[in-house]
Structure 1
Amino acid sequence: MAPDFVLIVDDDAKLAKLLTTYFEKAGFLTEVATDGLNALQIVRQRKPDIIVLDLMLPGLDGWEVCRKIRRDNDTPIIMLTARDDESDRLVGLEIGADDYVTKPFSPKEVVARARVILRRTRKEVVQHEPVQISNLTIDFERYRVERNGKTIELTPTEFKILGILATNVDKVFSRLQIVEQTQGYTFDGYERTIDAHIKNLRRKLEENPKEPQYIQTVYGIGYKFAGDVGD
């Protein structure tokens, strides 16, 4: 099997070299892009398995790079940020990042998170028959979600969360339970980011995200997938 290919997008040459060293020791193929436009070109041409993306880039910043990638690509993205502001991290997740790491960080941790994300996006989801609820179809084998026959593009993390909820109709999951089942690890503050992923899912799945039919909030506990969705 071919080694995984990681694209590291960072204009800090020292940090990019450090990450490259750790990823290559872990068996990854690597390439570095020092700006957003170069990163987008590599994504189109070489189709990396995972992207490590710094937010503070010259010209096209990391947020915009992530938005452009997510228009037609579901490659997992780990964002790197020097900002210790929760709102910045949540914005990154809302526009399609799968995970984030705040600087300063351990390169080993970034590699470990990349491995976890890749494992869970490679058919490591427990195989189920397609789920059909109202006008929504979730096909686990083809990794596809459709509403009224139209394909809905989800990030790997969004698909994983949806799969957990939709295959356990009416079961309430706490944020911590969702984190543990989707990430394989927990760290301080990550439970709050589940809200950002749920917000994205509702925006993509629901006719009216402010009055969700599918993914419902159970106040004080977490979320559930409704079993009585109307037609």
Structure 2
Amino acid sequence: MVFDIGIVSNKKILLVDDEEDIVNLLETVLRKEGFKNIIKAKNGIESIELCKREKPDLIVLDIMLPDIDGFLVCQEIRKFSTSPILFLSAKDEETDKILGLGIGGDDYVTKPFSPKEVAYRIKAYFRRHQIGSGKQTSYSIGNLSINEETGEVYKNRNHVILTAKEFQLLLMFCKNPNRILSKNLLYEAIWKEDYLSNENTVMVHIRHLREKIEDTPSKPKFIRTVRGLGYKLVTQENI
């Protein structure tokens, strides 16, 4: 599929960082890459208000903000938005990465970073999610309804808010029902990177997905763990 540059120019990006030099540099690089609609916030409270009002398509969020940290901002945003969130952090701790991805983040970049790398990651995200034929595909599994075209999920007719990565995982399971999917396969398919030792990333996202779609997350009926092999979506009981 050829990537439509018009899709990039129409996307609204929210940059959240109190370091003005970093924000200005990111904005300059993003505009050179074709992004025309860029909004900025210097603190957590302002970013939450902008998200509610402007509804950005993607958020670049620094963790170390002057008022409230980026993790709390992410949790608040996830109450009303599924827009992908790319974390910026001066910390390179594995625990911080896992925490960020676990509470609803979709990517994590450590400072100092290349602005072009951030721009590439953003473009890659939109390229992977570019609408192709426009044909609607929906899935109904138990009390769940999943719409691929709109990105919406309903449980017992109640709207379920998923992060971008959580929705991609659920969709991957829906397209491969009753099939065991390894952590390696899931990570490389969703994150588009080599698996290496990123086992915790998949586990954390699966746990949070279960918390949102399962009646009893500790005893899931949909996304089952197949010990030593991976996970599978069970669409019917095989006794």
Q: Same fold (TM over 0.5)?
A: yes
Residues of 1 paired with 2:207 and 2:135: CA distance? 25
Where structure 2 has 5 or more consecutive residues not aligned to the other structure, the ranges are: 1-5
Q: Quick check: 1:28 aligned with 2:38? A: no
SS in 2 for 1:101: strand
Aligned residue number for residue 170 of structure 1: 178
> Is the 1:9–1:53 Cα contact (8 Å) retained in structure 2?
yes
Residues of 2 paired with 1:15 and 1:53: CA distance? 12
Residues of 2 paired with 1:124 and 1:191: CA distance? 31
TM-score in terms of structure 1 length: 0.90
Aligned residue number for residue 14 of structure 1: 21
Residues of 1 paired with 2:133 and 2:235: CA distance? 21
TM-score in terms of structure 2 length: 0.87
Report the CA distance between 1:50 and its aligned residue. 0.8
> Is the 1:121–1:156 Cα contact (8 Å) retained in structure 2?
no
Query: Within 5 Å, which residues of 2 pair with 1:1-231?
Result: 1=6, 2-29=9-36, 30-123=38-131, 129-186=137-194, 189-229=197-237
Where structure 1 has 5 or more consecutive residues not aligned to the other structure, the ranges are: none
CA RMSD of aligned residues (A): 2.2
1:11 counterpart letter in structure 2: D
SS in 1 for 2:30: helix
Report the CA distance between 1:131 and its aligned residue. 1.5
2:51 counterpart letter in structure 1: V
Residues of 2 paired with 1:210 and 1:127: CA distance? 35
Residues of 2 paired with 1:103 and 1:176: CA distance? 27
The change in CA–CA distance for 1:126 and 1:156 in structure 2 (over 3 A counts) is farther
Moved more, 70-79 or 43-52: 43-52
Moved more, 53-62 or 34-43: 34-43
Aligned residue number for residue 3 of structure 2: none
SS in 2 for 1:173: coil
Residues of 2 paired with 1:41 and 1:128: CA distance? 32
1:145-173 Cα distance to aligned partner (Å, 9 max, x none): 11222221111211111001122112122
Moved more, 189-198 or 104-113: 189-198
SS in 2 for 1:182: helix
Give aligned pairs, total. Answer: 230
SS in 1 for 2:88: strand
Moved more, 169-178 or 183-192: 183-192
> Is the 2:43–2:65 Cα contact (8 Å) retained in structure 1?
yes
SS in 2 for 1:172: coil
1:108-135 Cα distance to aligned partner (Å, 9 max, x none): 2211111222233444699663212222
Residues of 2 paired with 1:195 and 1:138: CA distance? 21
Report the CA distance between 1:104 and its aligned residue. 2.2
